[in-house]
Amino acid sequence: MVALEIVDSHTAGEPTRVVTAGGPDLGNGPLSERVRRWSSTLDHYRSAIVNEPRGSDVLVGALLCEPVDRTCAAGVIFFNNVGYLGMCGHGTIGVVETLRHLGRLQPGTIRLETPVGVVAATLHPDGRVSIENVPSYRHHADVVVDLPVWGRFVGDVAWAGNWFYLVHTGNALPLTLPNVDVLTDLAWQLRQRVNAGGFPEVDHVELFSEAQDPGGHSRNFVLCPGKAYDRSPCGTGTSAKLACLAARGDLAPGETWVQESILGTRFEASYVWHDHERLRIIPTITGRACVNAETRLLIDERDPFAWGIRR
């Protein structure tokens, strides 16, 4: 019998499951190497933690581990129903709230090591969390995709800890919950065409349009690698959006951008230049997470789905 201690939370509606004890032994070395070790020899742990029957497609997992960089409070590896994530914005906010819930963190700023770099996270006295993401940038502007029935789309490819194709959908298809199935189909088609068109690294698609609530700047629908949509405004997706705005000169450093999710929840975001000449920014995303479970996952080898229902 294998037992894993976990804490569940959600950030603006998007769930995070933090493994605090009992996870796979990935040894030492850079987190990127540990991810490769996990994916090649111990991937059944990922499946057991986030896939059915214990999890669901929308669930993002986070494994706490020892950092290589000793200035960091912890290392964290994010994963989902189909694989591993370089960074996860909503998940980082969930990790910080989890550490606060466990009594391991007081208001202030800490550093967390991820497979793609170190991120700073600030727990505010009111419970909000701000994360300073890895350097982010627009990789390619005005990427054209033609889809049967849908027509032509023009968007940007950007990096912000994960790879995104970001495209404005206008008002013809509102970014609302009744349209989730249609939005999922559209975003999936866009990803396939973008991948085939020279950007195989893109695994997130971000559709955006005008905000629906007063005070917001934009509403988005983000389709994640495993074909689940992000219930939050997506931390790395919002970072990618800022990178594109900065590259176009449409948002000044320090100016606040309010990003809505398809649920209407919000992140506040801003940036500073990391490398102005190369149009690289450091985004800061602020949101709030809520812990909703603290429990133990049991893995019994007699269970035919002990290691999850795998694709």
Residue positions annotated with a catalytic role:
88, 234
C-alpha 21/C-alpha 8 separation (Å) is 13
C-alpha 17/C-alpha 91 separation (Å) is 8
Contact predicate 95/131, CB 8 Å = no
C-alpha 288/C-alpha 253 separation (Å) is 23
Contact predicate 161/114, CB 8 Å = yes
**Quick check: helix, strand or coil at residue 116?**
coil
User: Is beta strand 108-114 parallel, antiparallel or unpaired with respect to 280-287?
Assistant: unpaired
Q: What is each CA distance from 300 to 26, 51, 62, 156, in whole angstroms?
A: 21, 15, 22, 46
* DSSP assigned state of 178: G
Contact predicate 51/81, CB 8 Å = yes
Q: Which residue spans within 59-125 are E strands per DSSP?
A: 60-65, 74-79, 84-85, 108-114, 117-123
Burial of 261 (0-12, 13-18, 19+ CB in 10 A): buried
CA angle, corner 170, sides to 169 and 176, nearest 5? 75
- In what helix (H) or strand (E) does residue 229 lie, and over which residues does it extend? none
